């Protein structure tokens, strides 16, 4: 067998096949993960809302599917009429009664034409009695059927028509009972009915044994009666659940009828089904199943408003469909983990809602496995959590989003023209000159030797010459140490500032980790008090449900972190409020709004200490009021840092560009 062959063609926009992968999926989750920091909650929301794959195809969420289920249910209820079960019978009875009256009148006319007065008298007397019997028929169907069974029909055709109707009704009612007990077994013979009674008796006996603590012989039961169950249940519990669903569907049909319709059906059943043993076995089983499966839908009831009539078989099938729609809706409503969707019967979903819904459910059920296989999430003690790779991916997504909004000239602002000795690669090369560091670029060097040797038509082994050497260029090494101070006070989410602020923090962490790995980045969150945040904690960080903006404590912790680092030191503070809390002389947080002088003085004292230690403070103000602007003016005058008034939409632009501009200046200063 030869190797597989592949054919490639240019992309023209019409091809498909690039389905959603774990990284596309994680991009959909980024904002939710950044805002709430809860992976399971983010997945739940994605399950509810759905998403678009890379082909632009819609993956329906559970909310859309439940809307579709409700629409499918309403379409059936608005189209069909459950009363049609009896309309057909009533119409048939009206027609055969009219046929009988015509036959009676025809008999009278024939006697008159014969010219025999005695015959005419007797015939008219019989006709009067039979007309009177028809006139006195009860208004309900069951009563009419019972009376007509004792009617002395004049018309042989009407009698045959009535007998055929009764046979059909018996068959439909019997089949209705059979459908509850044995699935789709049409045209049952007398022997089949006898076996069904034996099956019901054996099933009730197994339930009695289980109630007595004796384990029934389920396998023996299935060997004898397995043909009654096309679902092929594997355990007694599965079999009982199947039976409960069938009987609950029948009960739902009775519940959905008007009281008059329900009474007519009951009376017809009692009248036409005379097998008391079968009825007792069914009632006994129904009672047991109600007790075992109280949530099977015994109380379901539907309001049919349509005009298309349903016969007995169609009505039973409709109840099964409506019950399945209800069960599917209830199941989807309770889903909190994509893995739970693996239990859904996709074939049933396909038959009820169509191929698109089944495909969407299949894709949704696979979400957790995709993320796990990609190494982005893991299950720890029964809970889904992001792995370190997942945390880095969230940071990369945030960074990519922020960079995508920058102007092209600003995006390139972190590149510098000067090169020199260092460790940060530029991915550019140059011919080796005497005195250069010997950072040999192997690929380019060997390629130069091959090309040179080929030009001389030398077919021997490749030999390196001095002119072949090519080296990698690097940036001059410059190290900076940064602490990001993130405001976690309650005003941040209230003013819709938290998501863009946290996204900037994660983007900067990702940027520094990937492009400036020698730099230090610390993170401090502050509200009523401040706390140092580790990088692995960042995705789950959320705001604090407390009042207070304790910049003073934040500066204390930031200064402690930076004093253990080298290089240029700075604090980047993102906030939307002036300082309203500080640590008092007893070591306790103290909150005041509006800010008191003691809080402001304590905060500015820490600013002075940062300034003395060579730490610059750059402040990014979100929705700044006059109080915050006035405070930041005093902070900037003391520290000689910079202040930016920005908005949630432009915060990332300002912070990233400012950070990269400072990095570029540091590199230029070192190379000068």
Number of other residues whose CB lies within 10 A of the CB of residue 407? 10
Q: How far is CA 648 from the centre of its chain?
A: 29
Instruction: Dump pLDDT digits (tens) for 75-99.
Output: 988 888 876 666 777 788 888 889 8
Residue 311 has pLDDT above 80, yes or no: no
Percent of the chain with pLDDT over 70: 77
For residue 20, the model assigns a pLDDT of 56
At CA 296, angle to CA 292 and CA 301, rounded to 5?
Answer: 135
The highest-confidence range among 167-176, 472-481, 508-517, 615-624, by mean pLDDT, is 615-624
Mean per-residue pLDDT, 225-253 = 80
For residue 2, the model assigns a pLDDT of 47
For residue 170, the model assigns a pLDDT of 65
Measured CA to CA in angstroms, residue 70 lies from 7, 75, 156, 220 at distances of 46, 9, 51, 42
- Contact by Cβ (8 Å): 364, 341: yes
Mean pLDDT lowest for which of 25-39, 248-262, 607-621? 25-39
**Strand duo 568-575 + 480-487: pairing:** parallel
Quote the mean pLDDT of the chain: 77
Q: What are the two backbone dihedrals, phi and then psi, of residue 138, each rounded to the nearest 5 degrees?
A: -60, 155
Residue 279 has pLDDT above 80, yes or no: no
Residue scoring higher pLDDT (224 or 269): 224
- Helix (H/G/I), strand (E/B), else coil: 52: strand
d(CA 647, CA 655): 11
Residue 4 has pLDDT above 80, yes or no: no
What secondary structure does DSSP assign to 471-487, as a single string?
A: EEEEEPP--EEEEEEEE
For residue 584, the model assigns a pLDDT of 93
Residue 564 has pLDDT above 70, yes or no: yes
As separate numbers, helices (DSSP H) first and strands (DSSP E) second, the chain gives: 25, 16
At CA 458, angle to CA 456 and CA 461, rounded to 5?
Answer: 135
Residue 40 has pLDDT above 80, yes or no: no
Instruction: Dump pLDDT digits (tens) for 446-477.
Output: 888 888 877 776 667 878 887 888 877 665 45
- Helix (H/G/I), strand (E/B), else coil: 142: helix
- Contact by Cβ (8 Å): 81, 303: no
Residue 377 has pLDDT above 60, yes or no: yes
Mean per-residue pLDDT, 336-354 = 80
For residue 144, the model assigns a pLDDT of 78
Residue scoring higher pLDDT (653 or 218): 218
The third-level CATH classification (topology) of the domain covering 480-671 is Rossmann fold (3.40.50)
Residue 99, H or E segment: helix 84-114
Q: Is the peptide bond before 242 cis (omega within 30 degrees of 0)?
A: no
Mean per-residue pLDDT, 222-229 = 83
What secondary structure does DSSP assign to 181-206, as a single string?
A: HHSS--S--HHHHHHHHHHHHHHHHH
The structural domains of the chain, with segments of one domain joined by +, span: 22-79+336-386, 84-154, 173-303, 424-475, 480-671
For residue 488, the model assigns a pLDDT of 92
Percent of the chain with pLDDT over 90: 11
For residue 410, the model assigns a pLDDT of 42
Confidence of residue 35 (pLDDT cuts 50, 70, 90): low
Quote the tokens at residue 294.
């109280």
Instruction: Dump pLDDT digits (tens) for 99-149.
Output: 889 988 888 888 888 878 888 888 888 888 888 888 888 877 777 777 888
Mean pLDDT lowest for which of 209-218, 402-411, 530-539, 638-647? 402-411
Residue scoring higher pLDDT (484 or 258): 484
For residue 404, the model assigns a pLDDT of 59
Question: pTM higher than 0.75, yes or no?
Answer: no
Residue 341 has pLDDT above 70, yes or no: yes
The highest-confidence range among 145-159, 396-410, 506-520, by mean pLDDT, is 145-159
Residue 200 has pLDDT above 50, yes or no: yes
- Contact by Cβ (8 Å): 375, 406: no
For residue 428, the model assigns a pLDDT of 65
- DSSP assignment letter at 568: E
Mean pLDDT lowest for which of 84-88, 175-179, 457-461, 609-613? 175-179
Mean pLDDT lowest for which of 182-186, 200-204, 441-445, 451-455? 182-186
For residue 287, the model assigns a pLDDT of 82
Residue 496 has pLDDT above 70, yes or no: yes
For residue 604, the model assigns a pLDDT of 95
Residue 411 has pLDDT above 60, yes or no: no
Residue 215 has pLDDT above 70, yes or no: yes
Instruction: Dump pLDDT digits (tens) for 242-278.
Output: 778 777 877 787 777 767 767 666 666 666 555 556 6
Dihedral of alpha carbons 511, 517, 522, 523, sign: positive
């Amino acid at each position: 067998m030869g190797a597989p062959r592949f054919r490639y063609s240019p992309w023209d926009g019409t091809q498909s096949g690039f389905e959603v992968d774990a990284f596309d999926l994680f991009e959909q989750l980024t904002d939710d993960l950044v805002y709430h920091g809860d992976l399971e909650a983010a997945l739940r929301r994605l399950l509810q809302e759905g998403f678009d794959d890379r082909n632009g195809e819609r993956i329906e969420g559970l909310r859309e599917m439940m809307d579709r289920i409700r629409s499918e249910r309403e379409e059936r209820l608005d189209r069909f009429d459950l009363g049609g079960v009896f309309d057909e019978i009533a119409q048939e009875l009206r027609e055969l009664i009219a046929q009988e009256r015509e036959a009676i009148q025809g008999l009278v006319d024939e006697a008159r034409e014969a010219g025999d007065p005695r015959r005419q008298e007797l015939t008219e007397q019989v006709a009067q009695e039979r007309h009177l019997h028809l006139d006195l028929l009860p208004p309900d169907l069951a009563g009419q059927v019972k009376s007509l069974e004792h009617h002395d029909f004049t018309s042989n055709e009407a009698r045959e028509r009535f007998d055929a109707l009764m046979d059909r009704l018996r068959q439909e009612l019997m089949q209705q009972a059979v459908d509850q007990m044995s699935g789709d077994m049409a045209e049952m013979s007398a022997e089949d009915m006898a076996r069904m009674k034996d099956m019901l008796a054996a099933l009730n006996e197994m339930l009695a044994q289980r109630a007595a603590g004796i384990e029934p012989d389920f396998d023996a039961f299935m060997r004898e009666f397995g043909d009654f169950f096309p679902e092929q249940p594997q355990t007694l519990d599965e079999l009982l659940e199947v039976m409960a669903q069938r009987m609950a569907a029948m009960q739902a049909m009775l519940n959905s009828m008007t009281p008059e319709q329900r009474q007519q059906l009951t009376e017809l059943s009692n009248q036409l089904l005379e097998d008391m043993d079968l009825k007792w076995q069914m009632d006994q089983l129904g009672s047991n199943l109600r007790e075992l499966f109280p949530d099977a839908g015994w109380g379901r009831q539907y309001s049919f408003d349509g005009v298309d009539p349903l016969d007995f078989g169609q009505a039973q099938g409709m109840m099964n469909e409506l019950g399945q729609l209800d069960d599917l809706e209830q199941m989807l409503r309770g889903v909190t983990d994509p893995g739970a969707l693996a239990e859904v019967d996709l074939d049933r979903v396909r038959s009820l809602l169509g191929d698109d819904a089944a495909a969407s459910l299949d894709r949704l059920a696979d979400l957790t496995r995709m993320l796990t296989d990609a190494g982005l999430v893991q299950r720890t003690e029964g809970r889904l959590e992001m792995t370190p790779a997942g945390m880095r991916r969230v940071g990369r997504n945030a960074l990519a989003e922020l960079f995508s909004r920058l102007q092209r000239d600003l995006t390139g602002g972190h590149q510098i023209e000067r090169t020199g000795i260092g460790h940060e690669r530029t991915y550019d090369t140059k011919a080796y000159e005497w005195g250069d560091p010997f950072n040999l670029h192997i690929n380019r060097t060997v390629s130069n030797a091959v090309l040179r040797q080929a030009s001389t038509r030398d077919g021997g082994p490749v030999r390196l010459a001095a002119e072949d050497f090519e080296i990698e260029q690097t940036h001059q090494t410059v190290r900076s140490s940064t602490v990001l101070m993130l405001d976690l006070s309650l005003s941040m989410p209230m003013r819709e500032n938290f998501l863009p602020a946290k996204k900037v923090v994660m983007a900067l962490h990702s940027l520094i980790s990937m492009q400036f790995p020698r730099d230090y980045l610390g993170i401090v969150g502050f509200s009523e008090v401040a706390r140092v945040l580790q990088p692995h904690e960042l995705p789950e960080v959320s705001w604090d449900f407390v009042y207070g903006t304790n910049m003073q404590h934040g500066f204390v912790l930031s200064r402690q972190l930076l004093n253990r680092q080298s290089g240029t030191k700075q604090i980047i503070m993102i906030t939307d409020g002036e300082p309203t809390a500080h640590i008092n002389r007893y070591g306790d947080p103290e909150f005041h709004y509006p800010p008191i002088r003691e809080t402001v003085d304590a905060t500015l004292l820490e600013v002075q200490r940062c300034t003395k230690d060579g730490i610059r403070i750059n402040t990014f103000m979100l929705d700044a009021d006059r109080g915050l602007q006035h405070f930041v003016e005093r902070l900037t005058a003391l520290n000689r840092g910079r202040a930016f008034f920005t908005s949630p939409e432009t915060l990332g632009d300002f912070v990233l560009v400012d950070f990269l501009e400072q990095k570029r200046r540091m590199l230029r200063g070192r190379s000068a």
